[in-house]
């Protein structure tokens, strides 16, 4: 009966469980222990054999023996070990507890453990992310996903960075558990709050500009970009708000707009803003690439490299604006040429020629950012899928009608899977989801069109003649 109880308990523990006597001979083990034993030694453990025999690493044996002696002396011990299973390396957390007889004498040791590799990697990743967030100049605020109603006490603040503390005068301890409403006051516009609430209810990103109040009661104008964070199942788990104090910028812009004789100063200011934005983007790119170098968990380095590439696509817009005298529009062909050149740097070994065919289309700044991100993803798709399909040439071309613009990314790969458009249409890959979301933001669409000897991905979006004409040059 006792053996049955032990085995039932052992199989219910999420990890290995075994017991050995003071001579280190196995007296009991569960199936999880047997599986790990088999991974290390290639054979099944046997009752009565010494536990130390199944550890091929002499340093690990010596380390475990040190903790076993402490447990044998009556001391509960918890330790972490690095275990090599061939090429795989895992971190195991082991708990050892002394087993006593009726007289209280230690007669054996009960040990149980579990693989904590993923947990430690996640914790280390979050610690590095915390360092990055602490270094950001913009305030970062994270709230719970639900509830959103004040009557229900939400959404409550889960995290703020140091820039938030500097901006608002509140300490982290003072705001954790509160709602962002503590920053609002008499001059906070109801219309912007309604837009914010509508986005929360629809689980959609939003950008608003609010009058907020510091702890000492002083007003400041803040630009807020709010985005939902989803888990792998698509469920929103929290909201992240990037907040930037634009009080001085707004005041300066107002002064410059009212003063016609200050046009040159305004141009210099805007140029400097775009230059700084470009440099800030470059700083974020460098941080992401540095982070990717130190990540050991498979897939995270590729994720960070892809994110850095997308940020670079946005930075190219500000680089172009910094180099020209007109800050209201971006030339589409120059933007696409920069994106193509960037993509060839991302894939330096790719033997493919990229051609951007001229087309005089000027995009407003609010349109240029989503267009740049979409074209980036379409070019990335052409490099990732077109080259393996035999492509030697990638073309970017434009078509303009009275009220719309079409951008086509075409590769001459001959061996694309016939169902590739359907794969892309149904894909939940992050890049494809970005394209769909941004196309909807532009009130446009993205089509994937295979043809004999080529594959075409086309973005079409509305752009009236007043929006996409020649930019003004001063």
Hey, what are 66's tokens? 């040190």
Residue-wise burial string across 147-157, b where 16 or more C-beta atoms lie within 10 A, e elsewhere? ebeeeeebbeb
Distances, alpha carbon 128 to alpha carbons 56, 237, 302, 322, 405, in Å:
34, 21, 17, 32, 42
CB-based burial label for 127 (10 Å; 0-12, 13-18, 19+):
exposed
Token pair for residue 251?
Answer: 């005041």
- The sign one gets for the Cα dihedral 322, 324, 329, 335 is negative
pLDDT value of position 213: 95
pLDDT at 469: 53
pLDDT of 223 reads 92
pLDDT of residue 474: 40
Question: Are the beta carbons of 183 and 160 closer than 8 angstroms?
Answer: no
Position 318 scores a pLDDT of 63
446 Cβ partners below 8 Å, 6+ apart? 374, 378, 435, 436, 439, 457, 458, 459, 460
Confidence (pLDDT) at 262: 44
pLDDT score recorded for residue 2: 44
Which CB contacts under 8 angstroms, 24+ apart, belong to 234-239?
236/145, 236/203, 237/145, 238/142, 238/143, 238/144, 238/145, 238/158, 239/142, 239/143, 239/144, 239/145, 239/155, 239/200
DSSP 3-state percent helix, strand, coil across the chain (nearest 5): 45, 25, 25
Show pLDDT as tens, one digit a residue, over the chain (474 residues): 445 445 555 455 678 898 888 888 888 888 888 888 888 778 888 888 887 656 667 787 788 888 888 888 999 999 888 888 777 788 888 898 999 988 989 999 999 888 887 777 666 655 665 665 666 678 888 898 888 776 666 789 988 888 899 999 999 999 999 999 999 999 999 999 999 989 988 989 999 999 999 999 999 999 999 999 887 788 888 888 989 898 888 877 776 566 555 445 555 554 555 555 555 555 665 555 555 554 555 555 555 566 667 777 767 766 666 566 666 688 888 888 988 888 888 887 678 899 998 877 888 878 888 888 899 889 988 888 888 889 999 999 998 888 899 999 999 998 888 787 788 777 777 778 888 888 999 999 999 888 888 899 999 999 876 555 554 444
Q: How many CB atoms lie within 10 A of CB 43?
A: 9
CA nearest neighbour of 30 among 102, 112, 100, 105: 112
Q: For residue 421, is it left (φ>0), alpha (ψ between -120 and 50) or beta?
A: alpha
Q: Which helix (H) or strand (E) holds 83?
A: strand 77-85
Is the pTM here over 0.85, yes or no? no
CB 403 within 8 A of CB 467: no
| DSSP code per residue over 92-110 | EEEEEEEEE-TTS-EEEEE
What's the CA dihedral at 349, 353, 357, 361 to 10 degrees?
-10
User: Rounded CA gap, 460 and 320, in Å?
Assistant: 23
**CB-based contact 223:209 (threshold 8 Å):** yes
Residue 435 contacts residue 467 (beta carbons within 8 Å) = no
């Amino acid at each position: 009966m006792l053996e049955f109880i032990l085995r039932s308990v052992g199989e219910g523990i999420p990890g290995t469980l075994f017991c050995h006597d003071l001579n280190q001979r196995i007296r009991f083990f569960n199936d999880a222990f047997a599986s790990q034993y088999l991974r290390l030694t290639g054979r099944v453990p046997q009752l009565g054999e010494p536990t130390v025999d199944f550890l091929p690493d002499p340093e690990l044996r010596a380390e475990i023996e040190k903790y076993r002696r402490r447990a044998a002396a009556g001391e509960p011990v918890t330790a972490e070990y690095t275990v090599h299973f061939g090429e795989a390396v895992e971190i195991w957390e082991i708990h050892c507890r002394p087993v006593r007889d009726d007289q209280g004498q230690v007669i054996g040791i009960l040990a149980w453990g579990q693989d904590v590799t993923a947990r430690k990697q996640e914790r280390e990743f979050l610690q590095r992310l915390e360092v990055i967030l602490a270094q950001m100049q913009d305030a970062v605020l994270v709230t719970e996903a639900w509830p959103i109603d004040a009557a229900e006490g939400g959404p409550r603040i889960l995290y703020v960075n140091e820039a938030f503390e500097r901006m608002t005068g509140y300490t982290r301890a003072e705001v954790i558990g509160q709602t962002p409403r503590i920053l609002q006051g008499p001059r906070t516009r109801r219309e912007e709050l309604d837009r914010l609430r509508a986005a929360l209810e629809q689980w959609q990103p939003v950008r608003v500009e609010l009058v907020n109040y510091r702890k000492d009661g002083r007003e400041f104008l803040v630009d807020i970009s709010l985005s939902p964070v989803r888990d792998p199942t698509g469920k929103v788990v929290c909201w992240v708000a990037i907040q930037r104090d634009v009080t001085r910028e707004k005041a300066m812009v107002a002064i410059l707009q009212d003063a016609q004789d200050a046009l040159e100063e305004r141009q210099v200011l805007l140029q400097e803003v775009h230059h700084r934005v470009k440099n800030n983007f470059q700083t974020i790119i460098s941080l992401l690439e540095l982070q990717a170098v130190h990540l050991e968990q498979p897939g995270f380095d590729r994720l960070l490299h892809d994110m850095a590439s997308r940020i670079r696509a946005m930075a190219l817009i500000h680089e172009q604006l910094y180099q020209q005298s007109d800050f209201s529009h971006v030339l589409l062909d120059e933007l696409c040429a920069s994106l193509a050149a960037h993509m060839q740097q991302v894939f330096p070994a790719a033997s493919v020629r990229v051609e951007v065919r001229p087309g005089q289309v000027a995009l407003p700044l609010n349109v240029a950012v989503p267009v740049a991100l979409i074209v980036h993803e379409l070019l990335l798709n052409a490099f990732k899928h077109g080259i393996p399909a035999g492509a030697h040439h990638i073309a970017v071309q434009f078509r303009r009608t009275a009220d719309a613009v079409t951008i086509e990314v075409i590769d001459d790969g001959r061996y694309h899977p016939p169902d590739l458009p359907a794969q892309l249409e149904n894909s939940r890959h992050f890049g494809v989801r970005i394209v769909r979301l941004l196309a909807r933001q532009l009130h446009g669409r993205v089509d994937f069109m295979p043809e004999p000897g080529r594959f075409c991905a086309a973005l079409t979006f509305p752009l009236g003649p007043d929006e996409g004409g020649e930019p003004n040059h001063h």
